[in-house]
Amino acid sequence: MKARVTVTLKSGILDPQGKAIEGALRSLGLAGVSSVRQGKVFDIEIEGGDRAKAEALLKQAADKLLANTVIENYKVDVLG
């Protein structure tokens, strides 16, 4: 089964990299972007077809490693 875990910074956490990207977009002449925050995407292949088990496994993976829950949120999407 294919799954995707998206990790993003919690709101309120400063993101200087996001700010730098914002500035770069502006200097490219792309007006109208008011803010950018950078996150991470993990594309994961899970063995077997049990959806609930896959979600539980991915939540564990996110809690234990993929996200630093001090500063990051995560979203788990099992794509089937």
Q: Can you spell out the DSSP letters for 32-77?
A: T-------EEEEEE-SSS-HHHHHHHHHHHIIIII--TTTEEEEEE
Count CA atoms within 13 Å of residue 11 on its CB side. Answer: 1
Q: Which stretch binds another protein (CB under 8 A): 29-37, 43-51, 53-61, 67-75?
A: 67-75
Closest by alpha carbon to 71, among 6, 22, 5, 14? 14
Q: Is 60 in the site for another protein (CB under 8 A)?
A: no
CB of 44: closest distance to another protein in angstroms? 14
**Contacts with another protein in 24-43 (CB under 8 A)?**
none
Name the residue nearer to another protein (CB basis): 23 or 50. 23
Name the residue nearer to another protein (CB basis): 28 or 64. 64
Place of tokens 């996110």: 62
Binding site for another protein (CB under 8 A): 13-14, 16-17, 20, 64-66, 68, 70-71
